[in-house]
Amino acid sequence: MTCTIYGYWRCSTDQQDQERQIRSLKDAGCESIVGDHITGVSDYGDRKALSKLLEEIKDGDLLILDELNRLGRTMVTMLVEVNKLLEKGVKIRTLDGRLDTQNMNEEIVKLIVSVMGYAAEMELKNIKRRTAEGRSVALSRGVKFGAKRKYDKFQIQEILHKRNQGQGYGQIAKAMGMSRSTVSTIVKRELDVPVGTQDSSFTDKLIHDICERSTR
């Protein structure tokens, strides 16, 4: 079976950053390189190149990234994408040296994914806590919230499932019979938590330490 080395880049409109990532991926031996431009106003679910790559990449292939966070802005999103790749039998290597499943045994990889899962859970708990605190403060100030939601938990689960498959907000909205803004609001509230938290920083260091020990 022929295995392919893929490279994936992700950046904003910074042309220099894009060129740097592509050059690094070429130097790493990537045979096929694709990427997405994501800006501050972009729907993060609209990563067409990544979605297509996840469909094409197969068991035994290698995916090389500049950094693991190229797969997602949040620990939750990164965990989802990493799990998709590992379940397909794809090897993952980051050029910052923090992850290389080619040279790790299965137990080490499982440990890293578990650490990422823990961090993702903490992120979700933190955002829910901050949301609850903000709501409590707003209520104490007499703020009245809008009408009752017109969607249920099962619809939320379906929306998150579709997003995890790489579908964009517009595509999900059409399938669910909702407005794009409603889908965006649901996803951002339930899933999109900034990675730059103390928990994810700790996790990033812990993953690095695990990788270091596994190569000794």
Residue 33 lies in a domain: yes
Instruction: Find the catalytic residue in 12, 136, 181, 201.
Output: 12
Residue 149 lies in a domain: no
Mean pLDDT (the chain, rounded): 78
CATH code, domain carrying 37 = 3.40.50.1390
Tokens representing 146?
Answer: 């809008």
Residue 95 lies in a domain: yes
Residue partners of 16: CB distance under 8 A and separation at least 6: none
What residues make up the domain containing 88? 5-103
pLDDT for position 194? 43
| Residue among 118, 113, 27, 122 nearest 66 (CA) | 27
Q: How many domains does the chain have?
A: 1
- What is the model's pTM? 0.60
pLDDT for position 46? 67
Is 12 a catalytic site residue?
Answer: yes
* pLDDT at 105 > cutoff 90: no
Residue 183 lies in a domain: no
Residue 172 lies in a domain: no
What are the b/e assignments for 52-61, b being 16+ CB within 10 Å? ebbeebeeeb
